[in-house]
Amino acid sequence: MTEMMPAGSFSPEQITALFIDAARLDDTELLTRFLDAGMAVDAQDSRGYTALIVAAYNGVLPATALLLERGADPNMQDAKGATALSGVAFKGHLAVAELLVSSGASLDIPSHLGRTPLMFAVMFGRQDMVRFLLAKGADPGHRDAEGLSVRDIAETHGQSHLFTQDGTTLS
């Protein structure tokens, strides 16, 4: 059992960091204690990370589920505009992506560079994630801030095998 120091011993930034670290480490007991003590479920650190963004990115399903059950917003964006689903698409954690989408995560929220979760999945060759996002209705026609389409990104990153000639379906 993790012992918590009195709240006066830590700055608000340190408390948020400890909360987010608990999510990263999948410490659902500590997350529950923070939340029961009044921690804002969508508290953000200096990079805009929330516990949900970090838990999802690290593929920790129990912490992700707990945070969503406790009201975490699956569409919060970090300082670069990335959502939890963006990080999951990049890393390829399909079970976490399924949970996020079933909990209301939007499929096409672009980062500040205009990149959507589908684009991140394509960039990193996450074929199962690409299939999942397309099946759920992700927009393959979206263009990023440089004007690149999903198909353009696939070609640039050596992933053109993910798409058929029309650029919208997996081969």
Query: pLDDT tens, 69-83?
Result: 999 999 999 999 999
Confidence of residue 157 (pLDDT cuts 50, 70, 90): confident
Q: What's this model's pTM, rounded to 2 decimal places?
A: 0.89
61-69 and 94-102 helices, crossing angle to 10°: 10
pLDDT of 1 reads 47
Residue pair 78/49 in contact (Cβ under 8 Å)? The answer is yes
State how far the Cα of 26 lies from the Cα of 23, in Å rounded to an integer.
5
Domains of the chain with CATH codes: 1-73 (1.25.40.20), 83-91+102-171 (1.25.40.20)
Structure confidence by residue, pLDDT tens digits, 68-127: 999 999 999 999 999 999 999 999 999 999 999 999 999 999 999 999 999 999 999 999
Residue pointed to by tokens 């690149």: 148
Residue pointed to by tokens 């081969």: 171
pLDDT of 24 reads 97
pLDDT of 171 reads 42
Phi, psi (deg, nearest 5) at residue 146: -90, 0
The mean per-residue pLDDT over the stretch 50-77 comes to 98
